[in-house]
Chains A and B, each alone.
Chain A
Amino acid sequence: MWIAIVTLLILAAIFGGLLGFASVRFRPEGNPIVDNIDEILPQTQCGQCGYPGCRPYAEAIAGGDKINKCPPGGEATIQALADLLDVEPEPLDAEHGEEKTRTVAVIREDECIGCTKCIQACPVDAILGAAKQMHTVIESECTGCDLCVEPCPVDCIDMVPVEMTMRSWHWDKPAPGVNLIATDRPRGLEQKGERAA
């Protein structure tokens, strides 16, 4: 019996030591759940959630904050977060804004006075310019966060909706109930009229 106890104790000590070593040696850096949440967030860095950027909000969610404070992400983000965290999805909190179409900032360049205030406000360094020089927005990098509009002293920044191009266009989901062949474009209305008549 003593042999059994001693053997178990030795085994316990060995595995305890191994586990202890592993927990120190392979400790993950940072909170992995924060990274997962951050990946879902739209990265507009707009601060509409009340935190200074997407990562801080991700940290807050990991700390127990609500998941419905991100207007740019909208319902899709809320759903994805709910799936990830296994919580009930909630409707978007209107307090933080509404889900809008994607926009980009455009500076009316002849009105710009070169004050650099928008450059300081841009969370993703998407505005190019220098003091007393005209500024311009790098459109491909702009997240449409709105943050540059407020600081502009001459109100020369417009938020312009992103235009549909042939490249970004794709087919809509077929309207339920109204059928069409795969190749039909002017759909729906005429047919509905026919059926009503």
Chain B
Amino acid sequence: MTAQPLIITDKVFRLKGGIHPDERKTLSNSTPIIAVPMPPLLILPMAMHMGAPADPVVSVGATVCKGDVLAIAVGGISATIHAPTSGRVCAIEDRIIAHESGLSSPCILIEADGEDHWRERHGLADWRSHPTDDLIQRLHDCGVVGQGGAGFPTDVKYRNRHRPITTLLINAAECEPYITADDRLMRERSDEILAGAIIAKHILGANTLRLGIEDNKPQALAEMRAAAERLSVDMRISVVASRYPSGGERQLIQMTTGQEVPQGGLPTDLGIVCQNVGTLASIYRAIVLDEPVISRITTVTGEAVDAPGNYEVPIGTPMETLLNQAGVHLKKADRVIMGGPMMGFAVPDITSPVVKTTNCLLVPTRKELPRPMPDNPCIRCGLCEQACPVDLLPQQLFWAAKHRNLEAAELHSINDCIECGACAYVCPSRIPLVQYYRYAKGELRNEKEETIKAERARTRFEARQARLEKEQLEKEVRRKARTKAAAEARAQKAANGGSQPDQQDDAIRAAMARAQAKKADKAKSAIELSIDDLEKALELAATKVKKANERLVIAQQESPDMVPALSKAVTKLEEKHQQARITRDEATRATTETRPDRGTDA
């Protein structure tokens, strides 16, 4: 680092398309950031970032400190969630969260104890001496996600770089009307942002730090420049003309570097990583202060708000609390929009909490953002095509989506649409174009999933079919082998003419002879045994049968699994008993008759 930092203002490049909506930023950017008092109950959704929902690691009733881990990231893309204050976990249940669908999702509810005491923190003031992997792990542990809107986990962004990174681009454009959260953050905490940027640059191994900012934020720009001088950081600045959507990652890269991110590619393909100012401040706090992401700056604005401005809100604060703090007249407004007027969505329930990606709550009056009027047919004017910042053909996409012609939509690269809403904004027929694209994208995604599933089902079905066939074939082969062996044996017998007994016959005969001899022996011994002994044996057998029957009855009542085995045993014992009786009867007869002739009739 030099004593005199090199701060250069670069020329900017042109972006095709875009619109100039009424900015209305002055509504909220003149007052300093106000901290919202800790609400008594915090609701922390497990799915407040992009990727898999986090997995709770606390149980109901547990006491937590401020900054304790509540839920850990699972799978490749996910983020850890922390307690925004100290208190007690009072429930883990499904709550409606701020999502377009209005569906509920698992949340951890925390009852604040009012003490707000921190867990033990281990800030890495000397982060330069730590390996970058440790720093990335720290970002993971602190649940840092992109705060621009998508909520992509930052550690994943830093891990997935398949190319050397040359540039860290600070996204300070904040192009969406009304929103001033980044503007105020830069004015008040520029040192934190730049300190975060230095850390991020170090982790990425980038050699250039670039600031992309719109020309409607001169104070923020001055602050950032001053901070760069204070911290003596070399920085290149690109001041882009205010035009929506210059704050889109790909759009800003195009405007500041002149390079276009390839279709289906990532900014890392160009050696660039783009990071929102809010995220950079979180990175600083996570690494140097060991503070996880437990609060954020949210703009509350709109004409139905008494005190529009920026608020530092603990994550998990119900929107209602924040709106009350800002003095919102819900009677004047008919909806609360999360995000800006271009890309935001009407919040289904204002009891849902502020999450890591809530950059703005817009409460417009009915007059300010009127309810849409019915749309007219497309007149093919082509204005949408001129407004599209990603060079798509919105009209073609509209026809495809309207008729659910997903193939055509894909052909016209619907997945490259950034849903900025510029086309719908300029449409003279007021066609809700973005709505159509979102629908088509959803259908396309579902169809893709179905196809994959069908493919898997087909493979499994075919594998099963093959297995059954193989089993059948094996059975057939075995059967044939047996038939063949039998046929051969018969043929051999026939060849021998049946006169000469072969080996097999010999063996059978020998066995029969042995059996006969055994029977004769038995009969003889039976005679030799005294009738008394036989009587005893018979009695013994009878008792055994009786006992076995008793056991069977007990088993039937207590342990049904044993019944089949026991009943088998009983049958066997009964057979033995029968045998003993026969033997005895024979013996009795033998003593009375002159000569028993046992064995020959066997």
Using a CB–CB cutoff of 8 Å, the interface residues on chain A facing chain B are 38, 41-45, 53-55, 123-126, 141, 143, 164-166, 168-174, 177-186, 191
Question: Which of the four size classes fits the interface of chain B?
Answer: 35 or more
In the bound assembly, the distance between CA atoms of A142 and B442 in angstroms comes to 22
Known: A170-B441, A171-B442. A183 touches B344 (CB 8 A): yes
In the bound assembly, the distance between CA atoms of A48 and B404 in angstroms comes to 27
B456 interfacial contact with A, CB 8 Å: yes
**CB-based contact B458/A185 at 8 Å:** no
Q: Choose from B47, B343, B401, B455 the contact partner of A166 (Cβ within 8 Å).
A: B47
Binds A, one of B215-223, B247-255, B369-377: B369-377
Known: A171-B435, A172-B439, A174-B436. A183 touches B457 (CB 8 A): no
Nearest 10 interchain pairs by C-beta: A170-B442, A182-B434, A43-B454, A171-B438, A43-B457, A169-B101, A124-B460, A179-B372, A179-B375, A185-B346
Query: In the assembled complex, how far is the CB of residue B422 from the closest CB belonging to chain A, in whole angstroms?
Result: 10
**CB-based contact B461/A180 at 8 Å:** no
**Residues of B close to A169: CB separation below 8 A:** 100-101, 103, 442
Query: In the assembled complex, how far is the CB of residue A186 from the closest CB belonging to chain B, in whole angstroms?
Result: 7
**CB-based contact A180/B438 at 8 Å:** no
**Residues of A close to B400: CB separation below 8 A:** none
- The chain A residue sitting closest to B432, CB to CB, is A174
- The chain A residue sitting closest to B456, CB to CB, is A141
**CB-based contact B461/A45 at 8 Å:** yes
- The chain A residue sitting closest to B421, CB to CB, is A182
**CB-based contact B457/A170 at 8 Å:** no
Contact with A along B408-440 (1 / 0, CB 8 A): 000000000001010010000011111110110
Q: Choose from B343, B374, B461, B463 the contact partner of A183 (Cβ within 8 Å).
A: B343
In the bound assembly, the distance between CA atoms of A149 and B413 in angstroms comes to 43
**Residues of A close to B374: CB separation below 8 A:** 177-179
**Residues of A close to B454: CB separation below 8 A:** 41-43
- The chain A residue sitting closest to B458, CB to CB, is A43
**CB-based contact B424/A182 at 8 Å:** yes
- The chain B residue sitting closest to A168, CB to CB, is B446
In the bound assembly, the distance between CA atoms of A126 and B335 in angstroms comes to 46
In the bound assembly, the distance between CA atoms of A44 and B342 in angstroms comes to 41
Known: A169-B103, A170-B441. A191 touches B346 (CB 8 A): no
**CB-based contact B464/A180 at 8 Å:** no
Q: Choose from B99, B335, B342, B464 the contact partner of A124 (Cβ within 8 Å).
A: B464
**CB-based contact B335/A186 at 8 Å:** yes
Q: Choose from B346, B404, B457 the contact partner of A44 (Cβ within 8 Å).
A: B457
**Residues of A close to B348: CB separation below 8 A:** 185-186
Name the residue among A53, A166, A180, A181 with the largest chain B CB count within 10 angstroms.
A181
**CB-based contact A123/B105 at 8 Å:** no
Query: In the assembled complex, how far is the CB of residue A139 from the closest CB belonging to chain B, in whole angstroms?
Result: 11
**Residues of A close to B445: CB separation below 8 A:** 170
**Residues of B close to A171: CB separation below 8 A:** 100, 435, 438-439, 442
Name the residue among B100, B374, B431, B461 with the largest chain A CB count within 10 angstroms.
B461
B443 interfacial contact with A, CB 8 Å: yes
Starting from the known contacts A42-B454, A166-B47, A173-B402, 9 additional A-B residue pairs (CB-CB under 8 Å) come to A43-B461, A53-B465, A169-B101, A170-B445, A179-B372, A181-B432, A183-B337, A183-B339, A185-B348
The interface residues of chain A, by DSSP majority, are classed as: loop
Query: In the assembled complex, how far is the CB of residue A167 from the closest CB belonging to chain B, in whole angstroms?
Result: 9
**CB-based contact B103/A166 at 8 Å:** yes
**Residues of A close to B443: CB separation below 8 A:** 170
B341 interfacial contact with A, CB 8 Å: yes
Q: How many A-B residue pairs have CB under 8 A?
A: 124
**Residues of B close to A182: CB separation below 8 A:** 342-343, 419, 421, 424, 432-435, 438
**CB-based contact B372/A184 at 8 Å:** yes
Known: A179-B372, A186-B346. A53 touches B461 (CB 8 A): yes
In the bound assembly, the distance between CA atoms of A36 and B457 in angstroms comes to 16
Known: A43-B458, A170-B445, A171-B442. A185 touches B102 (CB 8 A): yes
Interface residues of B in 305-347 (CB under 8 A from A): 335, 337, 339, 341-346
In the bound assembly, the distance between CA atoms of A185 and B348 in angstroms comes to 8
- The chain B residue sitting closest to A42, CB to CB, is B454
In the bound assembly, the distance between CA atoms of A169 and B464 in angstroms comes to 33
Query: In the assembled complex, how far is the CB of residue B453 from the closest CB belonging to chain A, in whole angstroms?
Result: 8
Query: In the assembled complex, how far is the CB of residue B77 from the closest CB belonging to chain A, in whole angstroms?
Result: 12
Give 7 A-B contacts (CB < 8 Å), ordered by A residue. A38-B458, A45-B457, A124-B461, A164-B101, A170-B446, A181-B432, A186-B335
**CB-based contact A143/B457 at 8 Å:** yes
In the bound assembly, the distance between CA atoms of A196 and B401 in angstroms comes to 29
Known: A166-B47, A168-B446, A169-B103. A180 touches B435 (CB 8 A): yes
In the bound assembly, the distance between CA atoms of A184 and B370 in angstroms comes to 11
In the bound assembly, the distance between CA atoms of A184 and B335 in angstroms comes to 9
**Residues of B close to A125: CB separation below 8 A:** 460, 463-464
Q: Choose from A44, A54, A168, A185 the contact partner of B100 (Cβ within 8 Å).
A: A185
Query: In the assembled complex, how far is the CB of residue B99 from the closest CB belonging to chain A, in whole angstroms?
Result: 6
- The chain A residue sitting closest to B419, CB to CB, is A182
- The chain A residue sitting closest to B45, CB to CB, is A166
- The chain B residue sitting closest to A45, CB to CB, is B461
In the bound assembly, the distance between CA atoms of A124 and B442 in angstroms comes to 27
**Residues of B close to A53: CB separation below 8 A:** 461, 465
**Residues of B close to A184: CB separation below 8 A:** 335, 345-346, 371-372
In the bound assembly, the distance between CA atoms of A164 and B439 in angstroms comes to 15
Known: A172-B439, A182-B432. A123 touches B346 (CB 8 A): no
**Residues of A close to B446: CB separation below 8 A:** 168, 170
Query: In the assembled complex, how far is the CB of residue A130 from the closest CB belonging to chain B, in whole angstroms?
Result: 16
- The chain A residue sitting closest to B338, CB to CB, is A183
In the bound assembly, the distance between CA atoms of A181 and B374 in angstroms comes to 10
Query: In the assembled complex, how far is the CB of residue B409 from the closest CB belonging to chain A, in whole angstroms?
Result: 12
In the bound assembly, the distance between CA atoms of A191 and B432 in angstroms comes to 15
In the bound assembly, the distance between CA atoms of A184 and B348 in angstroms comes to 10
Query: In the assembled complex, how far is the CB of residue B194 from the closest CB belonging to chain A, in whole angstroms?
Result: 34
**CB-based contact A183/B464 at 8 Å:** no
Known: A170-B443, A173-B439, A181-B432. A54 touches B371 (CB 8 A): no
Interface residues of B in 288-316 (CB under 8 A from A): none
In the bound assembly, the distance between CA atoms of A55 and B454 in angstroms comes to 12
**Residues of A close to B372: CB separation below 8 A:** 179-181, 184
**CB-based contact B439/A170 at 8 Å:** yes
In the bound assembly, the distance between CA atoms of A165 and B436 in angstroms comes to 21
Q: Choose from A38, A141, A172, A179 the contact partner of B460 (Cβ within 8 Å).
A: A141
Interface residues of B in 368-392 (CB under 8 A from A): 369, 371-375
